[in-house]
Amino acid sequence: MTVLVTGGAGFIGSNFVQQWLGARDERLVNLDALTYAGNLANLAALDGDPRHVFVRGDIGDRALTDHLFAEHQPRAVIHFAAESHVDRSIHGPDAFIQTNVVGTFSLLESARGHWDSLSSPDRDAFRFVQISTDEVYGSLAPDEAAFSEARAFAPNSPYSASKAAADHLVRAWFHTYGMPVVTTHCSNNYGAYQFPEKLIPLVIVNALAGAPLPIYGDGQQVRDWLYVDDHVDGVTRVLDAGRLGERYHIGGLNQLTNLDVVRTLCAVLDELRPKAGSYADQIRFVKDRPGHDRRYAMDARKIERELGWRPQHSFEAGLRETVQWYLDHQPWVEAVTSGAYRQWTTLQYGA
Ligand code: NAD
Ligand code: TYD
């Protein structure tokens, strides 16, 4: 049997691919366009493994995806591929609409063609897992209850709007065509292989370089941080046993302000890579992100009740492992922060 993973050279996708092949003896076709965020170095541990078939290509390339479905006959699609960074979506929303909306539409149609061609029981067993985000729900007030699966979408950024649009398409393909889909909404992830444009790896990389640690606005925005291995575990459970047409929240049960996250990171760095003074001295408050959502928090009781999932890593343990990973993988950091990365940081943070 075979599964098709999209975006498996990115942060969460590459963690998923490695854990999948570490735990199961099932072939995995990995379709990834290798944008700035996709990196074959994330998959180096799988070199020579015949169960991993890497294909460089765009999810919106219908001829390619039709060919992949026909050739590999996957029993499931786990759809991670996306443009994923809110700040980039503010500077240039086009790629977000193209990949997240139009690309997901094309992939859904390709998957539907394949699914239609199957005979029972393969048709009943087929799954399309849409990987989405807590950001589709918009922003919570400080004392509001966490987002439940019943909450209406209210996306505020071009990124979250494009993910919400894709989720709506997936939902419609279930209701109209009966496609066997299931959607996960996860909170902010952190861990190995995360591109250093996102808060946690950006702070680690800047701290070690002696550069400023930029905090948007007052730093009191709240995110619900989850270690990437726990997200991968949640997605796997939803693939295996999630109910069709349902949404499942995967959350960290770990709400923290950005300032607290950065201070905690600095304390871990002070311990693991001591220097004169504290890394916290490098913290700088900078202009806020336009439309910045104030708070996200996930009610993840449904996945716990139905599928027995709970985060297994405490924030302290996960963060320490993450910092250590970045310390141990300086060549990876140097490779991904060369060239185009510098253009991005200059555009976003100024010289
Ligand atoms: P990422 O940006 O690190 O990786 C995205 C991957 O998709 C890259 O490898 C990129 O090359 C690939 N890709 C982009 N456009 C493509 C296209 N048109 N065709 C094929 N491949 C393409 O993203 P991530 O952080 O790993 O996020 C993965 C998924 O999880 C996304 O759908 C994102 O919305 C969702 N998600 C992320 C988080 C988070 O905290 N990072 C939280 C919740 C949900
Ligand atoms: P990010 O990692 O971009 O994830 P998201 O916007 O999808 O939640 O940002 C996490 C939080 O950190 C968010 O509130 C924005 C904030 N942030 C900063 O304060 N400074 C930064 O340099 C970055 C990249 C993010």
Note the helical H segments in the chain: 11-23, 62-72, 86-91, 94-96, 104-117, 122-125, 158-177, 199-209, 228-241, 258-272, 301-307, 315-328, 330-336, 340-349
Integer-rounded Cα radius of gyration of the chain = 20
Q: What is the pLDDT of residues 271-319, one digit of tens each?
A: 999 999 999 999 999 999 999 999 999 999 999 999 999 999 999 999 9
Distance 321 CA to ligand 1 centre (A): 22
Q: What is the pLDDT of residues 160-207, one digit of tens each?
A: 999 999 999 999 999 999 999 999 999 999 999 999 999 999 999 999
CA–chain centroid gap for 17, Å, is: 13
| Mutual angle of helices 315-328 and 258-272, in 10-degree steps | 50
Q: Is the CB of 344 under 6 A from ligand 1?
A: no
Query: Could you tell me if 286 and 223 are in contact, meaning their C-beta atoms sit under 8 angstroms apart?
Result: no
Which residue of the set 32, 134, 229, 233 is catalytic?
Answer: 134
Told to judge if 159 belongs to the known catalytic residues of this protein, a careful annotator would answer yes
Domain boundaries, the chain: 2-190+226-252+292-313
Taking residues 308-331, what's their average pLDDT? 98
The response to whether residue 56 sits with its C-beta less than 6 Å from ligand 1 reads no
Identify the burial level of 213 via C-beta atoms within 10 angstroms of its C-beta, where 0-12 means exposed, 13-18 middle and 19 or more buried. buried
One-letter amino acid of 33: A
Decide: pTM greater than 0.85. yes
Superfamily per CATH, domain 2-190+226-252+292-313? NAD(P)-binding Rossmann-like Domain (3.40.50.720)
* 7 CA from centroid of ligand 1 (Å): 6
135 is catalytic: yes
